[in-house]
Amino acid sequence: MSVFAKPAVGWTISKYIVLALYLAFALFPLYWLLKISVTPEKLIYSDGVALWPSEVTLDNFKSVLLYTDFLIYFKNSIFVSFGTAALTTVLAAAAGYAFSRFQFRGKKIIIGIMLITQMFPLLIIIAPIYRIISGMGLLNTLTSLIVVYTAFNVPFATFLMQSFFDGIPKDLEEAAMIDGCTRLQAVRKVVFPLTLPGLAATLGFVFTAAWSELLFAIMLINSNDKMTFPVGLLTFVSKFSVDWGQMMAAGVFALVPSCLFFIFIQRYLVQGLTSGAVKG
C-alpha cells in the first residue's frame, strides 16, 4: 500500500474513539457539576447515579444569588483575577522584552533565580508569606492576593512573553528605528501590535491561575466580605451537612467568566501559542 493512500476508515474511527474517551474523561466532572446544580435537593441522594435527574429545578441558582454572599465573592474574584492578570502581563511583557532583546550583566543568573522560585511547593512558603503580608498590614485585603499572585505568576509569564518577543524579528524594530522611531516608539507601533496574541495568551493564563487559587486566599483572607469565590464555595460546607446543590450552582456561575474570557481570546491564543513556539 502506498504511504500516500487515504488512511483506512478503521484508523480514522479509532482516532475519534480515543479523542472521545479523552473528552469524556476530562469533561465528565463538569457535566456532573451541571447535573447536580439542577437537581432538586430532595433528589440528590435518592436519585442514585442516574445521568440526568428525574426532575429539573433552577432553585439552587436562585438561592445562591438571593440568599448567599455569592455575588460578593464573585465581585472580589473578578477584581483580584483581572488585577493580577493585568499587573502580571505588564511586568512580564517588560521583563520578557528585556530578556529577548538586550544583553546585560547577570542575565543568566536572574533567569536562574526566576526558575528557582518555581521549584518550591507553595505549602512550605506559606508561613513566611503570611508574616510578610501581615508585616505590611495587608492581611485580609484583596491587594494582598494581587501582590502574592503576581509575584508567583511573573516568572512563568515572563518566559512566555520572552518566547513571543523572540518570535518577532529584530529587523522589524531596527527598520522602524531607521525609519525615524525611538526604541519606545518602535516597540509601541511595531512590536506591540504583533505581540497582541502573546499578551492575550499570557493574560488568559494568569487570569485562570488567579481565578482558581485557593491556598493563599484561605490563609490571607478571613472576613466574609473579602473572600474570593474559591474560598466562598467552602461556606456551603457547614458543620453537619454540605449543600451540594447550591455549591454546584455557584460553581456553574464561576465557570462563566472563564468561559467568556477564553471565547474572547481563543483566536489569539491558538495563534499565539504556535507563533511563539515556531519562528517565522
Rounded-to-integer distance, Cα 123 and Cα 152, Å: 13
> Least distance to another protein from the beta carbon of 206, Å?
25
> Least distance to another protein from the beta carbon of 205, Å?
23
Give the residue, chosen from 141, 185, 235, 271, that forms a contact with another protein under the rule CB under 8 A: 185
**SS3 assignment, position 29:** helix
Rounded-to-integer distance, Cα 23 and Cα 117, Å: 33
> Least distance to another protein from the beta carbon of 177, Å?
5
Count of CB atoms within 10 A of residue 125's CB?
Answer: 13
Give the residue, chosen from 26, 66, 124, 178, that forms a contact with another protein under the rule CB under 8 A: 178
Interaction between residue 118 and another protein (CB under 8 A): no
Q: How many residues bind another protein (CB under 8 A)?
A: 17
Give the residue, chosen from 172, 255, 260, 277, that forms a contact with another protein under the rule CB under 8 A: 172
Rounded-to-integer distance, Cα 177 and Cα 168, Å: 15
Where does residue 177 rank: exposed (0-12), middle (13-18), buried (19+ CB within 10 A)? Answer: middle
Rounded-to-integer distance, Cα 100 and Cα 165, Å: 6
> Least distance to another protein from the beta carbon of 189, Å?
8
Give the residue, chosen from 102, 109, 180, 238, that forms a contact with another protein under the rule CB under 8 A: 180
Rounded-to-integer distance, Cα 48 and Cα 30, Å: 18
Interaction between residue 271 and another protein (CB under 8 A): no
Going by the DSSP 8-state scheme, the letter that residue 54 receives in this structure is S
Residue 139 or residue 181: which is nearer to another protein going by CB?
181
**Cβ atoms of 153 and 83 closer than 8 Å:** no
Interaction between residue 175 and another protein (CB under 8 A): yes
Residue 62 or residue 188: which is nearer to another protein going by CB?
188
Give the residue, chosen from 36, 95, 142, 176, that forms a contact with another protein under the rule CB under 8 A: 176
Interaction between residue 200 and another protein (CB under 8 A): no
Interaction between residue 171 and another protein (CB under 8 A): yes
Q: Please, which residues bridge with residue 242 across strands?
A: 237
**SS3 assignment, position 242:** strand
Binding site for another protein (CB under 8 A): 169, 171-172, 174-182, 185, 189-190, 193-194
